Amino acid sequence: MRFDIKCMLLIAVSLCLYTPSVFAQHTVSRVEGSNRYEVAVNTAKRGWQEAPAVVLVGGDAYADALSAVPYAYQQGAPVLLTNAGSLSGAVKTGLQQLKTKRVTILGGTASISEKVVKQLKALNLSVSRIQGKNRYELAANVAKHMKSASAAVVVNGSAYADAVAIAPYAAKQGYPILLTDAKGLREETANLLKNKAVKRTIVIGGEASINKTAFQKLPSPVRISGANRYEVAAQIAKTYPMKTSQTFMSHGYAYADAAAAASIAAKQGQTLLLTDAQTVPDAIRKVIGAKQMSAFSVVGGTSTIQSNVITQLKNAVLGETIFIDPGHGAQDAGAVGNGLLEKNINLEVALKLRSRLHQAGALIVMSRTSDTFDSLQTRVSKGAQASADIFISIHANANDNSGANGTETYYDTTYAAAHSVKLAQQVQPRMVSALGTKDRGVKTAGFYVIKYSRMPSILLETGFVTSPIDASILKSTAAKDRLASGIATGVSNYFDVK
């Protein structure tokens, strides 16, 4: 801001220190294993002390694994996977540990061979098999073994990943998961729906997966779709809510792990969401933020879900929408001094902050991302439109006296003052230590953007471009990197303690 000091001295008030007392960091646990078979066994052991009944599917029979979840739920059974040719070692040990007595195999001998059956019988287990001549018939046959239900889930048999997130809900409701293909409604599925007198169907996937003709043939269909599987999963979580006290997360492309995750999520009545290997997708962040989820169980090893995802899940900023407003722009240069234009510093810091906060798990909306200009009113309304959780306006300072220097954070008392001051108290000391500037403290002032933004909002004065000391710091890319990291840490901590 230009000419800030004079008017601000009149209204600036020093505030007592806010001391964070309660830390409410997200909690995250992980169920892993050296391969998909072990992941499924370890997941089952997490949910079942003993499992007299187990449902076993082939390790590569992903579509079968999905249909297995509601059936297994009715049997009180976890879903385990095995190699087709030979019983996987992890499963053999797992069956013994779970004191299993009965195993139901889903799929033909191509997905689980007769050799596996022999191996199971050698363990004194009673073994039965449900099969079909293809995945569509298998899903229908599995449904025949379930209690009748008023509704069913229908999904494309080759795009079943879209439906993973609904499996816990379907299981809980007793809805079978049936398959069809892109060409139309499969006969196997149509017959089952008729024979079981199913009255409603939940269709997962867009028209490319289940076309209009197939859709119209279904009883009272409702369609859930999205641009990708993460959007679909988020949509499912919103439309068919499950508990969120311990949300399960599995990899969007590791179907085997997802079946195990769906199986335990169903048992515990919890939401299942999908993630990328390296980062929590934005659509998933949104639903996490909207539902205020803070405890997660990740199903999958470090090769499928990397440690960065765990770090994001632990961060209380995950799913929060942060509005970043780089002050000034275009014809409005803001403060000028020592060869610096404030608008450029503001934008540089804002872009660095955006990348760090997004990396941390937040959703970011900015008033500008290049050298453009918005009125103060527009900035405020953009923040409101974004339903931002917090508003951060980034500025640099100026003064006629080149001796004036240092970093300060402003908030306004009109709206959300209690939270704004907490946010300011988290950010201010981290800016100072990142830049090594003089600490001018946290102050109040009725600057337009923080006065009229209704969410917790702060305005940062990073340093004085008119001060030779501050200007040399603000010219340094390394200093601006540290500054952005410091602000991001302050923001994360704010969500931890708020």
> In terms of CB distance, is 140 or 345 closer to Zn ion?
345
Element (H, E) at 200: strand 200-204
Told to check if 395 binds Zn ion by CB under 5 A, we report yes
> What is the spatial distance between Cα 408 and Cα 397, in angstroms, rounded to a whole number?
9
> What is the spatial distance between Cα 56 and Cα 80, in angstroms, rounded to a whole number?
5
> In terms of CB distance, is 207 or 332 closer to Zn ion?
332
Give me the residues paired with residue 444 across strands: 411
Binding pattern for the stretch 316-355 against Zn ion, x by CB under 5 A and - elsewhere: -----------x------x---------------------
Nearest alpha-carbon partner for 361 in 424, 316, 297, 426: 316
Angle between helices 36-47 and 255-268 (to 10 degrees): 0
Minimum CB distance to Zn ion, residue 442 (Å): 17
> What is the spatial distance between Cα 30 and Cα 276, in angstroms, rounded to a whole number?
15
Binding pattern for the stretch 272-311 against Zn ion, x by CB under 5 A and - elsewhere: ----------------------------------------
> In terms of CB distance, is 64 or 374 closer to Zn ion?
374
Minimum CB distance to Zn ion, residue 362 (Å): 24
Minimum CB distance to Zn ion, residue 373 (Å): 13
Residue type for position 187: E
Q: Which residue is nearest to Zn ion (CB)?
A: 395
In the region spanning residues 150 to 179, those forming contacts with Zn ion, defined by CB under 5 A, are none
**DSSP for 121-168, written as a single string:** HHTT-EEEEE--SSHHHHHHHHHHTSPP-SEEEEEETT-GGGGGGGHH
> In terms of CB distance, is 1 or 487 closer to Zn ion?
1
Told to check if 463 binds Zn ion by CB under 5 A, we report no
Stretch that binds Zn ion, among 122-130, 199-207, 269-277, 395-403 (CB under 5 A): 395-403
Minimum CB distance to Zn ion, residue 458 (Å): 14
Stretch that binds Zn ion, among 13-21, 74-82, 392-400, 475-483 (CB under 5 A): 392-400
> In terms of CB distance, is 229 or 368 closer to Zn ion?
368
Task: Give burial (CB, 10 Å; 0-12/13-18/19+) of 220.
Answer: exposed
Which of 1, 192, 317, 455: binder of Zn ion (CB under 5 A)? 1
3-state helix, strand, coil in the chain (%, to 5): 45, 20, 35
> In terms of CB distance, is 30 or 395 closer to Zn ion?
395
Minimum CB distance to Zn ion, residue 393 (Å): 8
Minimum CB distance to Zn ion, residue 448 (Å): 11
Minimum CB distance to Zn ion, residue 372 (Å): 15
Binding pattern for the stretch 174-203 against Zn ion, x by CB under 5 A and - elsewhere: ------------------------------
> What is the spatial distance between Cα 246 and Cα 268, in angstroms, rounded to a whole number?
9
Are 53 and 267 spatial neighbours (Cβ–Cβ below 8 Å)?
A: no
> In terms of CB distance, is 180 or 344 closer to Zn ion?
344
Judged by CB under 5 A, the number of residues near Zn ion is 4
Task: Give burial (CB, 10 Å; 0-12/13-18/19+) of 17.
Answer: exposed
> What is the spatial distance between Cα 438 and Cα 270, in angstroms, rounded to a whole number?
49
Q: Which pair of structure tokens corresponds to residue 315?
A: 């961060």
> In terms of CB distance, is 186 or 395 closer to Zn ion?
395
In the region spanning residues 402 to 421, those forming contacts with Zn ion, defined by CB under 5 A, are none
Minimum CB distance to Zn ion, residue 397 (Å): 7
Q: Which pair of structure tokens corresponds to residue 452?
A: 């009229």
> What is the spatial distance between Cα 127 and Cα 54, in angstroms, rounded to a whole number?
10
Instruction: Please identify every residue annotated as catalytic.
Output: 461
Stretch that binds Zn ion, among 33-41, 279-287, 295-303, 387-395 (CB under 5 A): 387-395
Told to check if 368 binds Zn ion by CB under 5 A, we report no
Give me the residues paired with residue 221 across strands: 201
CB proximity list for 376: less than 8 A, separation 6 or greater: 448, 449
Interface residue list for Zn ion (CB under 5 A): 1, 327, 334, 395
